[in-house]
Amino acid sequence: MNKLILLVIFYFHCEFAFGQNTNFNVFQIDSIVRRIDSTCISGGITDYIFHKKGHKKKVIGGGADWFYTDSSGKVLLKVIRETTLKSKNFDTYYFYLDSLIYLKTSNRTYIGEQKKINWEGSYYFQNHSLIFKQDSLKLNSNPNFYIETARKFFSIGQIWRRNILNK
């Protein structure tokens, strides 16, 4: 009887313990995102410039990636990517166990002090696949583009990884 009780307890612990089940629903992903927003710390910033094709000196835009990690600095939790060409794009990537789980994106234009949101969207991912999207885009978005971009944030040359090596 004791073995049966221990087996049942072990089963429920493995099935429902946080971090064991990666098949989250939208509500659970929202909860993880809120926790990340309340606990992450800055892991570094990378700036970049866009040049006109074929013209190294003609700047047409720029951008920056803000990396946020856990308190140890070893686990990437969130990246905010801002790109500016004719308008500003803000993409916020959220990660769980080094996998993209949520993306919030928006495109804004500014006329003086007035901000206009042209489009925005929220995308939920599970096991490198889109499970739900909610957006106001007029174009079809490609979730694989976001998944590939998210993978690049884990490359060795990223600033949050260099900070780990320097500690």
What does each of the 167 residues of the chain score in pLDDT, given as a tens digit? Answer: 555 444 444 444 444 443 444 688 999 999 999 999 999 999 999 988 887 777 777 887 889 999 999 999 899 999 999 998 888 899 999 999 999 999 999 888 888 788 888 888 899 999 888 898 887 765 567 888 999 999 999 998 888 887 665 65
What's residue 51's pLDDT? 77
Looking at the whole model, is its pTM more than 0.85? Answer: no
Nearest Cα to Cα of residue 21 among 119, 146, 126: 126
Residue 63, φ and ψ in degrees, nearest 5 = -175, 180
d(CA 121, CA 150): 16
- Give residues with Cβ within 8 angstroms of 77, minimum separation 6: 36, 39, 40, 68, 69, 70, 94, 95
What's residue 31's pLDDT? 95
What's residue 164's pLDDT? 62
Tokens of 92: 């916020």
Centre a 10 Å sphere on the Cβ of residue 43 and count the other Cβ atoms it contains: 24
What's residue 133's pLDDT? 84
